[in-house]
Amino acid sequence: MSAAAPAKSWGARGVQAAVLLATVSLVLGSKQSIPVAPGVLAAISALGLLLLAGTLASELVEVVGLPHLSGYLLAGILVGPHVLNLVEHQTVEELGALNALALALIALAGGAELRLDALRKAARSLVWAHLLQTFLVLLAVAGAFLALARFIPFLDGMAPVAAVMVALLWGVLATSRSPAAVLGLLAQIRPKGPLTNMTVAFVMSSDVVVILLLAVTLAVARLGFDPSATLDLSAFSAVGHELLGSAALGTTLGLVLAVYLRLSGRGLMLVLLALGLPMSALLKYIHLDPLLSFMVAGFVVQNFSSGGERLLHSIEKTGAIVFVVFFATAGAHLDLPLLGRIWPIALGLAGVRMVATMVAARAASRLAGDEPVLKRWGWSGLVSQAGLALGLATVIVRAFPEFGDGFRTLSIAVIGVNEMIGPVLFKLGLDRAGESKRAIDESGAG
């Protein structure tokens, strides 16, 4: 682990705050006098503003012990369409392609963080964690959803069996996690220890579990809405094609990268950038999962070649830019007026999910015989949700347009809450577990 950077003085923080204020004021003034039409120029300007504002805000939130990801999100919210409107909604949508590239690099790094020897050692813990996190969280959140049904407008007039099906789909959505949030925090503080290893292994492997679970639940839910329907086995075939195809393509990409690293490896970051965007678009076009494919590619490079650490180092060099783009754009996407309208329900469902996650993590750690730090803080990295959860919500909405708009609205609100509090809780867990730079610095000072 690299040595911790020296703490910045209050004078330096003041300069950063002044630069942030000046930047926002300058852009706000220029936007009013020289409006820029949506397009390439607006997207480039928005990207520059998000990068600068996100970087400065991430430095400022360190003062109160928040992770950099919180600063990126806050900067995106501030300059986004719902506060200052320096970045308009259409421009945020146009930056989606960069988000796909960022997610590809995040998944590649996540796969490269998974090491076979660590997975073998944690196999028992991972099995118990997946079982309990899947079923306890699903049932608890689905039960809370039904308990709040009379406060959820899109359930009005819905038959009881159909409402139960919607609750189960909501429970599946609750079992998804955020690889981006976990890896973003790891890129900032470079922690090492059992909590870090277990969180990365669980969160990265949960993608496969959630995809399978959603396929099963969608098939059952269709029977609940239409009792005359038959079980559609083609859905399982499609999921099998997606998983196996994504893994196969990821393995091929990993082998290609491994050979390139062995032969040359020069300009690796440019190669990754050139591959990331077209590969993500191609994978979506042929209905494969980009997150899983790039994760498998990183795993192959790390465990079946000597280029794993070199790959990680190359991604880390641009890590700050990748995560600023991803989370600042996510903050700009966050619909604050929507959250303001349904915040009691959103907070209630998010709170139940967090408690269920904590209970399931502690129960799984006890059954697996994990060390005390995992029993106490193993849940802390499992609260965040982001792009993967939104993707699952989109799949559910397409499958059931009869309640899709309301479901999408509520899911965006709850995911937004989890997106904001999750990184803070994980950083707290790493600090308390003694795996972050802050904890190491404090123990050294003591």
On whether both 367 and 287 belong to a single domain, the answer is yes
Q: In the structure, what pLDDT confidence band is assigned to residue 429 with cuts at 50, 70 and 90?
A: very high
Can you give the pLDDT at residue 3? Answer: 41
* Integer Cα distance of 59 and 67 in angstroms: 9
On whether both 115 and 73 belong to a single domain, the answer is no
| Mean pLDDT across the chain | 83
On whether both 297 and 266 belong to a single domain, the answer is yes
Can you give the pLDDT at residue 5? Answer: 47
Can you give the pLDDT at residue 173? Answer: 93
Asked whether residue 4 carries a pLDDT value surpassing 60, the answer given is: no
On whether both 79 and 141 belong to a single domain, the answer is no
Name the one residue in this structure whose structure tokens are 């690889």. Answer: 179
Name the residue among 135, 164, 129, 124 with its Cα closest to residue 147. Answer: 164
List Cβ neighbours of 322 (8 Å cut-off, separation of 6 or more). Answer: 102, 105, 106, 315
On whether both 134 and 46 belong to a single domain, the answer is no
142 within domain boundaries: yes
* Integer Cα distance of 223 and 434 in angstroms: 49
Residues in the chain: 446
- Domain with 293, as residue range(s), is 98-445
pLDDT in tens, 269-295: 777 777 777 777 777 767 677 878 888
Asked whether residue 2 carries a pLDDT value surpassing 50, the answer given is: no
Around Cβ 301, how many Cβ atoms within 10 Å? 27
Collapsing DSSP to helix, strand or coil, 402 comes out as: coil
| Sequence-ordered alpha helix ranges (H) in 34-80 | 40-61, 68-79
Domain count across the chain: 2
The domain boundary, picked from 94, 125, 142, lies at 94
DSSP assignments along 118-166, one per residue: HHHHTHHHHHHHHHHHHHHHHHHHHHHHHHTGGG-GGGTT--HHHHHHH
Q: In the structure, what pLDDT confidence band is assigned to residue 35 with cuts at 50, 70 and 90?
A: low
3 within domain boundaries: no
Can you give the pLDDT at residue 328? Answer: 83
On whether both 111 and 61 belong to a single domain, the answer is no
| Sequence-ordered alpha helix ranges (H) in 318-386 | 319-333, 336-368, 372-377
Name the one residue in this structure whose structure tokens are 């999100």. Answer: 73
Phi, psi of 145 (to 5 degrees): -60, -45
Collapsing DSSP to helix, strand or coil, 159 comes out as: coil
On whether both 114 and 87 belong to a single domain, the answer is no
* Integer Cα distance of 209 and 138 in angstroms: 13
Can you give the pLDDT at residue 394? Answer: 81
pLDDT in tens, 118-154: 888 889 999 999 999 999 999 999 999 999 988 888 8
Q: In the structure, what pLDDT confidence band is assigned to residue 219 with cuts at 50, 70 and 90?
A: confident
